Structure 1
Amino acid sequence: MMSVVMKAAARAAAVALCLTALSPATAMSEDTFDPGLLIGKDASTYAKFQMPVFDKLGEVKITTPPDDTPPVMRVRWTAPKSDYIQINPKSAIPGVFVIKFAEGSHVRLGDMGLYINRSGFESTASEAERLKRTGLDVAAAEAQVETINAILADAGKTWGFELTPLFKSVFGDSDVPGQGPNAQFVEKSALEQRTMEELADLDLYFIVSAKTFHDIKAEAALLNKLNGFEVIEQVYPGVYAEGAQAMPTANVSNQQWYLDAAPTGVNARPLWSMPGGQGQGVTAVDVEFDWVTDHEDLPPGLSGRPACAYDYGGSEHGTAVLGVMAAVHNGLGVDGMAPQANYRLESTCRPFDYIGAGIAALFTGERVSGRAHNMVVAKAIALAGSPLRAGDVVLIEQHTYGPDESAPPVDNCNASQFSFVAMEYYPDSFDIIRRLTARGIVVVEAAGNGTQNMDTAVFRGRFNPALRHSGAILVGASAPNINTPASGAFNAIPGNYGAACFTNTSARVDVHAWGGGVATTGYGTDLMFNPPRTARDPFNGRSIGGTIPRYYSASFGGTSSAAAIIAGAAVQLQGLKRAQTGGLSLSPVGMREALRASGTAPAGGAAIGVQPNLTAGAALISGRVGGFEGPGVYVIRSLANGKVLDVDVSWFRGQDDGQRLVQWSQHDGLNQRFRISAAGTDGAGRPLFTLQPLHSRKVLDVEGASGADLARIIQFRFTGGANQLFRIEASPDPRFNVIATFNGMLLSTTGRDDGFDIVQHPAGAGLSQMFVLTRVE
């Protein structure tokens, strides 16, 4: 076995080799230097730079110690249980419901039914703490789970109910009995350390279903019996979900007034001439029922269309959404906001998802005119986000029945969708959306067309951002003022529009966009085009292979059109950000800020957020391209490999002294954001700084106050020692060295891959000692 000393020597030698390989001398050699390290830059540019010369430290004057109060992890809020669960026959799908077990219970499904995995429970200290909030210890929870097993077994014998993990096909198998947590739980734990917020254990969600079942009264009785167990956090019926719509080709892009300058539109066109402004380098996924993927104005190679048959309502809805975002700039039809992005499709048409005992559960009414059920939507969201990286975009175009069971008012403008709300009303969708945003994925979600004030008591706080926040950008709809052909003109009257009559409202709604009059692909209901055409003429009604590849509409609407516009805007801004910074992304919070900070409030003041002005938003993020602007919160990216500085949070919740500073792919976690604070000056009057990772509020520290080459950089509680003070100097701007003040060595990367240490090393190691600092707060 290699001794500790031998390991240390081997490690030092390996690091030295990495540093030598990135030295300026090596960079000047075309035979040995890897241009990929420069992220597309010319190596000769960097060979000219002179490394700084360091003098003695002199007297250090610390003026302001950092706030090192340990952060407290935000407790996950859960909606209060209903005293009595009623099932609305209008919205519910008979024979389908969800059980979500309490956090900390570690309930899993094995061959003999539900059980608590003691190994997984005991391997994570926080599980017992969270379970205690239910008033149960693990023994009491196990007793309740046994009773629940008996109830479900009886329901299975009587009505054929079967139990299936909701997210199994997304994250793989649950825990193995007698072993520790699975990959889903490990990911959850890591994301909690990045965000300092408790996240849901998604293995606690289960679908209970019966293939043929119609007795709503019996189902309600079963749900209420289960609802009485403390170990069950929520139990609720499945409900319908659907697209949030309001009900040689000519070039009609001049009728896409929603792209016009603010406040009429979102001012999208000027971004097309900017690097990244057509969505280059960004992947976006549309969560929909279906699409016409061979439409003449959509990009080729779209994948993800389901095996379900073409459905006019569901298939044309997805086609219209894609047209807003992705329509090719080809001189015909319409122009998409971000046509150069990479698009993926994730369908909610998946009737054979939940299989128990070899029987496929094709639920009654599951697929009626483009409908799915809420649990399938949650799973589609999970699948949509699975392959994405931080900064990519997921658009959720479904909405579903909410808690308001009253009849729509007689003057309601959208009675067929009255009471529909955003998908995150339901815990399964909320928790998977929060998982995606914790990973840094930007989620855009339609607020819904249900004419609901989601801040009222019937919603029981589910849209109160002070209680919980999914991290998604929630989108309301405005009502544009458009002259119709009958009035002798066809154009949008410029101005600031008010809320659409059908849109949901809430303080939680972030932004809005056009909820009607949107020209796009799909439907064939283009009677508003100028000149008007019928919906089924040769231009607009040719059917090929069972699809409708030449349909267009000028009247797409609802929060569906609004969400599509905002998703297109997000893809454009993310493309700009990545192009300007060499790959850094706006986080979900940063994207919301960029969209909101530049926007215009609606006429009338309804709670639907602002309509973004993308040109102003582009200017906002362009001011944060790179460079050190003084104290603030920064992401610090290495020029050697494009990775960002990251505190290892793989143990002790990332809160311990001594945890390493490493390099890692960007995910926008708090352990990759550093508060740089002024800490006085050195003897030469040069400013000194502390670097404080936001997840722990400790500070970066040269381990052991070592003066040795290759000493690691760690996090440690603030002591005021000189080994916790750094200078940040241009080399040249916006490329910077981070200098350990007490010995003049530079922070240096040591390799290419995730997890390599950041160490101190004398000047002269080239790109491995150069960083771009991007201010994010």
Structure 2
Amino acid sequence: MSKPSRLSGRPMLHALLGLSLLSVAPEAEAAPKSLAPRAMAAKHTGRELPANTYVERLVVKFHEGSRVRLRGNSLVALASERGSAERALLSARGLRAERVVADAATVQSLLERAPRIGALSRLFEEDESTLEARKLSGEELSGQQLADLNLYYEVPLLPGTTAERVADLVASLNALEGVEVAYAEPPPEPAMVNFAMDAALRTMLAASDIAPTTPLYESNQGYLNAAPGGIDAKYAWTVTGGKGLNVKVVDIEGGWRTTHEDMPALFTQIGSQYNDLSWRNHGTAVLGEIVGVGNAYGVTGIANQAQAGISGVASQSTASAITNAANAAGLGGVILIELHAQGPSDGTACTCNTTQCNYIAMEYWQANYDAIATATANGVIVVEAAGNGSANLDSSAYGTAFNRTVRDSGAIVVGGSTSTTRAPMCWTNYGSRVDVHGWGEKVYSMGYGTLFGSSYGEDQFYTSTFSGTSSASPVITGAAASAQGVALANGRRLTSKQMRGVLSTNGTAQAADSRNIGVLPDLRKVLPKVISGSY
């Protein structure tokens, strides 16, 4: 059951004008000793974020092996349920059982001092046995040690709480030996540039009614075209499975117009949505690029035979939304993280889109990273917006969060380019962790009503100006769903890392630029590799 929203009233809407199983034995007891070790999270000082950054929750993770669980209203260390592998993990870190017990109590005491609006709770909504089962299965499939997601806890903060207000508390939590990491998490936002039309659209809605037949915009969707301009989705449609047949895709963000005339029936709706037009337009535009129905009007999605679902963040953390989406998408499915959030400053000057300066990819925050890593280990393909913060993700400001040699979530990270020259957009994040790019401007899709439908109501809204890594990431999601559909039709199934490899090495190069955003995938090159298994 979803938790009730704890975010109503928080000062978020101004920021939205920017971007865009089975019950099992204890996991560590069964974990094979040959697993590649998981890198521990870097401790936070509490002052990574700009002082005035709004934060919505405190997140605390205990060390692997500690088996700290919430029982009633108290954090307890279940020493009697700790397996031999868990005991070995604690021993390797010099953590005595008594210290784990004491630090769990201290964490609870410290969190009671937070300016909070709710009680301490588990960060992930799935039950403990489900999370344990997914950890075991992911480790079995990947050979990589995964985080015990049951060790994550959260406290929701009062609306208006800033990073500076809780910085000392975060530092105190991280000073505890039994805590792997603690941090204040800012609210996620849609990774789109420029919501300037929003106020006008709100006024237009007052006079909405069902309108005449919508034109067909497929010929205007340049990202569907052959390389070098597009990803050649039109070629993919001629290949068996190339429209995403038998692939499930779940979008993670804050809102959608599920009754839009070009929206397919959704196979799942997880969590809840914000009652906000900006969020709804954003999510609707995202799904339009991927699964807009193939008919005689509106837009046509890249993978328009894929099954679409949604996972809303209004009533759950981003990390929980990721795990719930991954569970729904299933083995071989695709999930899209259509969010970014305020991160540390990397010192790079923002010459455009200044309201989102230093907004970065969601895997910077450890719980999101661990959720993604668990998803990809379990055979789910994850596509993630790089963010619109003009940030160099290789900067020392982010530590090793985006250093693939230190930690690799397996996600496909997407930058944004111009629609014509494939040059990085001035606001796109960039760096070695950015794998591929998509169109970051001038995207035709559903939503907004700036192209069509402004007088007819949201169910007929269309736009020609969707932008940001929000418009770029659905291009890649559609390409991944198309390629997976072809793979399934040929008796194969790609993992997230395999999909990342084949998309990032078979495409049109970006324009010469020191800011790396990878290639624009070319399905005419990708699909033969998928069919032959040479990826």
- TM-score category of the 2 structures, normalised to the smaller one: 0.7 to 0.9
Q: What residue is the counterpart of 1:563 in the other structure?
A: 473
Measure how far apart 1:551 and its partner are. Answer: 1.1
The C-alpha deviation readout for 1:662-688, integer Å capped at 9, x for no partner, is xxxxxxxxxxxxxxxxxxxxxxxxxxx
C-alpha deviation, 1:146, in angstroms: 3.0
Q: 1:202-233: CA deviations, max 9, x gaps?
A: 01100023557858655322222211101111
Percent identical: 35
Whether 1:111 and 2:58 are equivalent positions in the alignment is no
The 2-side partners of 1:273 and 1:86 are apart by: 49
Return the letter of the residue paired with 1:93. V
Distance 1:215 1:339 in 2: 42
2:455 pairs with one of 528, 541, 545 = 541
| Larger Cα-atom Rg | 1
Structure 1: segments with no counterpart, 5+ residues: 1-69, 175-181, 354-375, 482-495, 527-534, 625-775
Match of 2:498 among 590, 594, 614: 590
- Pair 525,89 (structure 1): closer, same or farther in 2 beyond 3 Å: farther
Contact 1:445 1:472 (C-alpha < 8 Å) held by counterparts: yes
Displacement of 1:303: 4.9
Report the AA paired with residue 428 of structure 1. Answer: A
Check if 1:383 corresponds to 2:321.
Answer: no
Q: Does 1:80 align with 2:42?
A: yes
Contact 1:290–1:306 under 8 Å retained in 2: no
Q: Match for residue 228 of structure 2?
A: 263
SS of the residue 1:520 aligns to: strand
Cα pair distance change 1:79/1:273, threshold 3 Å: same
Q: Render the CA deviation track for 1:77-108: whole Å, top value 9, x for unaligned.
A: 134323454664542226x2111111121111
Given candidates 610, 619, 633, the residue that maps to 2:519 is 610
**Shift, 1:447, TM fit:** 0.6
In 2, the alpha carbon distance for the partners of 1:436 and 1:268 equals: 26
The aligned amino acid for 1:511 is V
Give the structure-2-normalised TM-score: 0.85
Distance in 2 between the 1:212 and 1:71 partners?
45
Letter in 2 for 1:553: T
* Partner of residue 193, structure 2: 246
Pairing 1:622–2:531 present: yes
CA 1:161 to 1:397, structure 2 compared with 1: closer, same or farther past 3 Å?
closer
- In the alignment, what sits opposite 1:320? 285
Which residue pairs with 2:96 in the alignment? 137
Structure 1 segment 662-677 matched on structure 2, within 5 A:
none
Q: Secondary structure at the match of 2:61?
A: strand
Q: Structure 2 matches for 1:433-582, cutoff 5 A?
A: 433-481=372-420, 496-526=421-451, 539-543=453-457, 548-581=458-491
Is contact 2:252-2:338 (8 Å) kept? yes
Whether the 8 Å contact between 2:52 and 2:163 is mirrored in structure 1 is no
Deviation at 1:305, TM superposition (A): 7.6
- Stretches of structure 2 that go unaligned for 5 or more consecutive residues are 1-31, 195-212
Q: Deviations over 1:279-333 (max 9, x none)?
A: 1111110112111111122224565286656422111001111110111121212
Check 1:439–1:244 CA distance in 2 against 1; reply closer, same or farther (3 A cut): same
Secondary structure of the 2:243 match is coil
Q: 1:444 touches 1:567 (CA, 8 Å); kept in 2? A: yes
For residue 236 of structure 1, what is the amino acid of its counterpart?
Y
Deviation at 1:540, TM superposition (A): 3.7
Contact map agreement 1:134 1:231 (CA 8 A) in 2: no
- Residue 616 and residue 159 in structure 1: after superposition, are their counterparts in 2 closer, same or farther (change >3 A)? closer
Instruction: Assess, with a 3 A threshold, how the Cα gap between structure 1 residues 213 and 508 changes in structure 2: closer, same or farther.
Output: closer
1:520 and 1:238 mapped to 2: Cα distance?
A: 31
- SS of 1:285's partner is strand
Aligned length: 485
1:427 aligns with 2:392: no
Matched-pair contact (CA < 8 Å) for 2:35–2:145: yes
Distance 1:130 1:559, change over 3 A: same
Cα distance per residue 1:519-538 (max 9 Å; x no partner): 11111123xxxxxxxx7xxx
CA shift in 2, pair 1:142/1:468, >3 Å: same
Indicate how the Cα distance of structure 1 residues 467 and 190 shifts in structure 2: closer, same or farther if over 3 A, else same: same
Distance 1:320 1:212, change over 3 A: closer
Q: Per the alignment, in what secondary structure is the counterpart of residue 293 of structure 1?
A: coil
Q: Which amino acid in the other structure matches residue 36 of structure 2?
A: R
Please tell me whether the aligned partners of residues 393 and 442 of structure 1 are also in contact (alpha carbons under 8 angstroms). yes
| Alignment-derived partner of residue 163 in structure 1 | 120
Q: Normalising by structure 1, report the TM-score.
A: 0.59
Following TM superposition, by how much is the alpha carbon of 1:442 offset from its aligned partner in structure 2, in angstroms? 0.5
Change over 3 Å in CA distance of 1:86–1:322 after alignment to 2: closer
Q: Distance in 1 between matches of 2:505 and 2:122?
A: 41
**Residues 554 and 435 (structure 1), Cα distance of their counterparts in 2 relative to 1, 3 Å cut:** same
1:506 deviates by: 1.6
State the AA in 1 paired with 2:244: G
Contact conserved, 1:394 with 1:444, CA < 8 A, in 2?
yes
